[in-house]
Structure 1
Amino acid sequence: MIVTCLRCPSSLGQTPDGVWSGAPANVALTILPAFYQTTWFRFLCVAALLAFLWGLHQLRVQQLRRQEGKLREAIETIPAMVLILGPDGGVQFRNRRWVEYTGLSQLGNAEGFEKTAIHPEDLDRTLRRWGACFASGEPYEDEMRVRRTDGEYRWFLARAVPLRDKRRKVVKWYCAATDIQDRKLAEELQAELAHTNRVSTLGELAASISHELKQPISAAVTSSQASLRWLNRDRPDLDEARRATAESVKDGVRAAHIIDRLGSLFKKTPPQRESVDADEIIGEMVLLLRGEANRYAVSIRMDLAADLPKIMADRVQLQQVLMNLMLNGIEAMKETGGVLTVKTGPGEGGQVLISVSDTGVGLPDGRADEIFNAFFTTKPQGTGMGLAISRSIVESHGGRLWATSYDGQGATFHCTLPTAVA
């Protein structure tokens, strides 16, 4: 403005002393920085930023506390006993359900729990398996009986998995124990029912089984008598006597095998999974049921695949399933006779497939799945439990049992079972 006034007289202004006449005048100028360049504004900005960051921090803390509260609430209320162990095995946390059930404190030594709460019959097995998993860092799973505060023992399924850091070092163990008492009771009832079914079925087969036993025993007696005759001659023929004695021994062993098979089916023992050969068990059941099949003019044919992997199953339960399926096939051909075919081969998902086919009248129309219901039967004297028990046994092994049928062309029962882990 000053420069403009000097260059343009018409733009002359006034001073505090009056109208500017062009004479020199003193002008005082004050130059101030913009507000955003001031110290107080910068300080205010820093304070606002810190307050904002503090607010975000407090908000995050509240969120984490809420999440922690929800997680703790979930851990405290889930229907399982939860335990957290340190890398040295020391207890870092037990949830409320654990404390209420066992009566132990939230912190303490895991060894104290094992010795005071686990059933004495399960203690050695539990310590051995847990020790092996703890040393190797592998996940742990086992069933055991745990004592309640009132002294009652209940079955629990215990699982534990390790938490590892970036260097794969175990820093914690997360453990959970789920009450499986009801499942155990159901398994015991199922085993009792299966045993009753086996005994009832074998009772119905008494005549056929006695015939199967009579045949090798009679043959053994005949061979023994022949051996005596060869020995009682004026000049004993030792070669013929040995041959007759060997035949007698072979027939006796055959009878013993039949008795062993009967004994295993009659015996009441808890299920025990093991690696078994499906073809071998099929051969045993064919030997046992051949007399019943011959009684109704039914021939049994086996079509067994070679080099099949072994399956993981309870031998007696698998025998019961095959016996039920084969007897159903024989029953379907009772009036007409026919052929019962037992076949093995590879199944879906790497499992072993067992099929039992008959040439009878087939299944009721549209009721191929209904026949597996409890108490459903088409036999006048049937209980309707054989197929229901068979399906429950197969499914408990991780397999599947189903039936197919074609009008007037018989029925086929298919059973898949998982192979044994190598």
Structure 2
Amino acid sequence: MKLTLERSSNTNRSGIWVAAGAVLILILVVLLLAVRNHRREVDNARGLLLAKGDALIRTIEAGTRAGMLRMRWGRGQLQHLLEETGHQPGVLFIAITSPSGRILAHSDRDFLGRSLTLPKGIKEAKGLRMFQQEEPDGNLTFLVWREFRPLIPDNRAGHMGDHMGRMHGNDHMGTWKDKKDHRLFPEERDKPLIVLALDRTPYEVVRNRDLRSTLVISGLLLMLGIGGIASLFWFQNYRLTRESLRDTSAMAREVVTSLPVGLMVVDRGGAVAFMNQAAEELSGLTDDEVRGKPADFVLPGLMETVSSALDAGTPLHEEEHLCRFSPHRVLPVSISASAIVHEDGDSVGRVVILRDLREVKRLEKELRHKEKLAAIGDMAAGVAHEIRNPLSSIKGIATYFKGLFDESHDARETAEVMIDEVDRLNRAVTELLTIAGPTRLVTARHDVGEIVQRAVRLVEAEADSLGVDLTVEAPEAPVMALLDADRLTQSLLNLFLNALQAMKAQQGGHLAVTLKETPGAVCLSVADTGCGMNAETLASLFDPYFTTKADGTGLGLAIVHNIIEAHGGTIEVTSHPGQGARFDIELPQGE
């Protein structure tokens, strides 16, 4: 009996050491994976900021180059360019400094003439350099700098600069090689530097969020691994550890259930063994409905991909897919999967982790939209003034010639066509400035129902001429909201006119406008029975200059989107080819 007890004790001690060693290895592996993922996120953020800084620096140099070669730019124009570019999201400041740090031009005019403390080594910058530092207010600053090269540095560019200089009466528009050619800062003997400060804080927020998700998933895998290893040890001491095992299992299940990401466990037979609450919300199915059913029932068409990767011994990590949980529920998800293997090497199941990417895709789409608007803003600032002045002269001359001829003369009709075309171009320039600049609102409390009725009255005549039935459904009581009445009317008119044009070819149809009030918000719906739109058109519907009309400018719906967004609201579109379209607008009521 004593020998048996001693052997049992030795076995227990050996099992404890084996379990402890396996857990330690698992922890080291999980930590290694977490650290590698963290470093990758840091490198990605640094690369994005460096690419953004390089693109902005090249843009400033290109703008300066164009101004110097074509419009004889000076410091004032360069200062204005830096101020406009400094309004870009995420840009803290842009400065042109001497190698000693004296500020020659700055996106904030108040800093002109001051000294900028430059990091060690910035004076010797030959190419693109970067530096990170933390400001006293806690913001993380990402500095990008290099020599400021507004002129083209090769021989071809020098010949072109000489040629352009002779065209403008200036023989000194060459390259940096001759210091006499530097017309922006003639008092500086050395080449100035351009320093760009970017705000790294948003990237840190996103990176920390991903880090937290990685830590949660790593912790989950660690717990599952520990549970698998410990179960072999606990099996030998089942009677003594039964209660402890039950408590640990309950705790693990509670952690898995409350995870912010969807988790589904598949047994070795391919059936669903468990699905947590996040996975239920994502799929629209409950754990009771899917338990014991094939995993393809939850992830149709995707389990084959998961099985192929795991059977090849390769874990699936953050692979994006468009998952069709049901005919009416198609969502973008990120899938991670790994095999659950016991110590003998046999697979006992698989764990599949699902992460909802709808918010990520929405933010990506919004970012692309804002980047397009920013590009248009840069173009509009320089183009609008140059176009409007000649248009005014052309219109004046056309009006003068129109007065020289009587109404029956062909030349008078030609002059009227010229005036109409000038007005059309002027409207296009106005729309360009509207979409490119920030939307300024003059808000007050208004009855949204009255605004809708006013906009409807403006298009009633055109609707009657097209044979379109126009109906309005709104509450009898006033629906009050804090908004800009003129801007909202402009948005509704654009939507109504687009709907009427969509029904023009079919010589009739129905345009329905619905207004209702929800807690804290006002909901507007504009639905038509026109030709509808396909998925490709819907994806680019609010992009500037995107249009499906032969005579359209592509700015109408982009302006509508900007106005609704400026009110803090949202606009969504639902449409199918041949089934019309519906625009749903939600606006906050405000206080």
Give yes or no for TM over 0.5. no
Q: Place the TM-score, normalised by the shorter chain, in its bin.
A: 0.3 to 0.5
TM-score (norm 2): 0.27
